[in-house]
Structure 1
């Protein structure tokens, strides 16, 4: 079965941003998350949607295809 969630640290690293910026984006509703014990988990599908929106929203930002 495919893993559906990831940690905040892994999500931030995958996006190439820091934890502080990731928490800021999460507070603004960019990502769904929940706690299991002491761990905060992020829905991977939200990460993919965020990247897709970013790519589609700014085609002239030096993104090579």
Structure 2
């Protein structure tokens, strides 16, 4: 998969992050992961994925401290 892309379908985002689609759709539903529509396709920008993962890392490190 080309990880130089700047946007991904949810399925591609799942592959790129190692998370499953259900987890990403759950995050989208809770407004934790920003998405946009391109025609009928739901897309996730690289920036939104990076921000989402950074937030998960911050939350995880708070619990470990």
TM-score by length of 2: 0.69
More deviation, 40-49/12-21: 12-21
Out of 9, 27, 44, which is 2:11 matched to? 9
Larger Rg: 1
For residues 19 and 34 of structure 1, the distance between their equivalents in structure 2, rounded to whole angstroms, comes to: 16
Number of residue pairs aligned between Structure 1 and Structure 2: 60
For residues 7 and 57 of structure 2, the distance between their equivalents in structure 1, rounded to whole angstroms, comes to: 22
Which residue of structure 2 aligns with residue 49 of structure 1?
Answer: 51
For residues 59 and 26 of structure 2, the distance between their equivalents in structure 1, rounded to whole angstroms, comes to: 20
Return the structure number with greater helix share.
2
User: In angstroms, what is the RMSD of aligned CA positions?
Assistant: 2.1
For residues 10 and 54 of structure 1, the distance between their equivalents in structure 2, rounded to whole angstroms, comes to: 19
* Deviation >3 Å, runs of 4+: none
Q: List alignment gaps of at least 5 residues for structure 1.
A: 61-65
